[in-house]
Amino acid sequence: MLTDADSTAPAVTLELIAREAGVSPSTVSRILNGTAKVSADKRLAVEQTIARFNFQPNAMARSLAKGQTYTIGVLTQFIESPFYGEALRGIEDALRRTAYSPLFVSGHWNLAEEEAKMRLLQGRRVDGVIVLTGRLGDEQLLDYAQRLPIVVTGRQLSGPRLVSVDVDDFHGAREATRHLIELGHTRIAFISGPADHPDANERLRGYRQAHVDAGLALVSELVVPADFMETGGMLAIQQLLESRQNFTAVFAANDQMAYGARLALYRRNLRVPDDISLVGYDDLPNSTYLMPPLTTVRQPVYEIGRLAAQAMLKLIAGEAAEIAAPPLELVVRESTRRVRH
């Protein structure tokens, strides 16, 4: 005898439901989609059989028939990133209670991989894709936008089916540096991001501009390149210390490097902020709990995610959309203080 698990249960399809409820498939479809009025008795019958069979319509078939998948591709860089994670959460929240759901894929800051993922998303016929920064070229993006709506962060670009959001990193870095200068610091080290990273250069520019604004000399030995990772921050401090340059403050181009820098400083018995002031960039969730709590530039990543998803919904609806750049904000916590003379 065959057990339930062994026998090939007949797939429960819309057609099965229709038959069991004594109506036509179209009627079931109408009820499912609210496409047209259906008499109360039939509706009841159908609803009951749906419940009885625990019927779950096949989204593939539905997509195929409608030419819409109700899914929005999201190209992030590292699925585990605490930074982009906030954006994903914003996207999820914006999509909750809509018919759409997100499909997350990661590109790992690698052009080829990002392209492959875009191909995957296109194959899956997503209704649009939100690109969280990354390395795809502007023309490439414009090109994708010929076929589907695109919302992209981290650059300024626009086109028929393409909207972008960008934050003003130049401004953010300039403000952060200015904060240090206002506290009396004149020898401020800068731990920079990868030279080929779009944001990294803007932040460096901001750091420099603040010096120019204040009539302060730029000391090239105080700018040390790193990789946006904690280890990079540690190495940078080491290099800075070995260079025997004086400095009373360190501005790291992102919080992760600031964390590394913090630890390296601790190892050398340099106190923050008493000996050295430290500033980060991003305001990762953890930065409130750094010791001491880190002064940093807050990026409204969650908000960006939310706005991006909302804009995408509009684009899909065929409406125009644009996203106002949400402002960066310097969050002064306890890792910076007036320089001691």
Partner DNA sequence: CTGTTAGCGCTTTCAA
Partner DNA sequence: TTGAAAGCGCTAACAG
Q: Is 327 an interacting residue with respect to a copy of itself (CB under 8 A)?
A: no
Give the nearer residue to DNA in terms of CB position, either 13 or 238.
13
Among 47, 54, 66, 326, binds DNA (CB under 7 A): 66
CB of 62 to a copy of itself, least distance (A): 9
Question: Cα–Cα distance between 163 and 160 in angstroms, integer?
Answer: 8
263 binds, among a copy of itself, DNA, none (CB under 5 to 8 A by kind): a copy of itself
Q: Is 158 an interacting residue with respect to DNA (CB under 7 A)?
A: no
Binders of a copy of itself in range 184-223 (CB under 8 A): none
Q: Is 318 an interacting residue with respect to DNA (CB under 7 A)?
A: no
Is residue 273 within 8 A of residue 332, CB to CB? The reply is no
Give the x/- contact pattern for a copy of itself in 101-120, rule: CB under 8 A.
Answer: x-xxxx------------xx
Give the nearer residue to DNA in terms of CB position, either 19 or 187.
19
Among 5, 65, 317, 320, binds DNA (CB under 7 A): 65
Q: Is 205 an interacting residue with respect to DNA (CB under 7 A)?
A: no
Q: Is 281 an interacting residue with respect to a copy of itself (CB under 8 A)?
A: no
Question: Cα–Cα distance between 105 and 126 in angstroms, integer?
Answer: 12
27 binds, among DNA, a copy of itself, none (CB under 5 to 8 A by kind): DNA
CB of 81 to a copy of itself, least distance (A): 7
Q: Is 19 an interacting residue with respect to DNA (CB under 7 A)?
A: no
In sequence order, which residues have a C-beta less than 8 Å from that of residue 251 and are 6 or more positions away?
Answer: 173, 176, 177, 180, 188, 189, 190, 191, 207, 278, 279, 281
Is residue 226 within 8 A of residue 251, CB to CB? The reply is no
Q: Is 5 an interacting residue with respect to a copy of itself (CB under 8 A)?
A: yes
Among 67, 137, 215, 318, binds DNA (CB under 7 A): 67
Among 48, 52, 58, 266, binds DNA (CB under 7 A): 58
Q: Is 11 an interacting residue with respect to DNA (CB under 7 A)?
A: yes
Q: Is 126 an interacting residue with respect to DNA (CB under 7 A)?
A: no
38 binds, among a copy of itself, DNA, none (CB under 5 to 8 A by kind): DNA
Q: Is 298 an interacting residue with respect to a copy of itself (CB under 8 A)?
A: no
| Residues of this chain that bind DNA (CB under 7 A) | 11, 13-15, 22-30, 32-33, 35-39, 41-43, 57-58, 61-62, 64-67
| Residues of this chain that bind a copy of itself (CB under 8 A) | 4-5, 56-61, 63-64, 69, 78-82, 85-86, 88-89, 92, 101, 103-106, 119-120, 122-125, 146, 160, 230, 259-260, 262-263, 266, 286, 288-293
